[in-house]
Amino acid sequence: MYLFLAFLMVPIIEIALFIQVGGAIGLWPTLAIVVLTAVLGTWLVRTQGRMALGQLRSSFEQLNDPTEPLAHGAMILVAGALLLTPGFFTDAVGFALLVPQIRIAVYRYLRSKMTVARFQMGPGSMHGRSYPSDNSPKPQGDIIDADYEDVSKDRPRKGPSGWVDGQG
């Protein structure tokens, strides 16, 4: 229901704002503002996105919970989409999402509405899941999962090592 209301109300708000702003300052200044906000928004999204990507890398390197940097990255992505959408209301929401304090507030609000059942990283987990306590395989040191096929029987042995054909 909320999504339906958003798809219904956002275009109505944008059209009303275009009419009001266009009537106050004229057509060309209104269009110039829309293009300027798209260009400025693209630049801001690019710089903020690089910072968010750096924070995400840092959280992975330090084995910290990557949830917050991922959420910031997602909000920056949404901000970029809103800023590229022509309109004053979407630009205002997009620019608001580029403010780190607002993103933190949105993240905290969304986090308060969610419950994480389990999250584990490091030893004892593989692909984000912990091993059950039954007799399933447990990680021991560095594990390399690979498939192989013995081709030594199919290859005629030429030369001293079998890997060179002696015609070099």
Q: What is the pLDDT of residues 75-127, one digit of tens each?
A: 999 999 999 888 999 999 999 999 999 999 999 999 898 887 766 655 555 55
> Domain spans of the chain?
19-113
Q: pLDDT for 29-45, tens place per residue?
A: 999 999 999 899 889 99
Percentage of the chain lying above the pLDDT 90 cut = 42
Label each residue of the chain as H, E or C: CHHHHHHHHHHHHHHHHHHHHHHHHCHHHHHHHHHHHHHHHHHHHHHHHHHHHHHHHHHHHCCCCCHHHHHHHHHHHHHHHHHHCCCHHHHHHHHHHCCHHHHHHHHHHHHHCCCCCCCCCCCCEECCEECCCCCCCCCCCCCCCCCCCCCCCCCCCCCCCCCCCCCC
Comparing 7-11, 96-100, 101-105, 148-152, the range with the smallest average pLDDT is 148-152
What pTM does this model have? 0.64
Q: Is the pLDDT of residue 162 over 60?
A: no
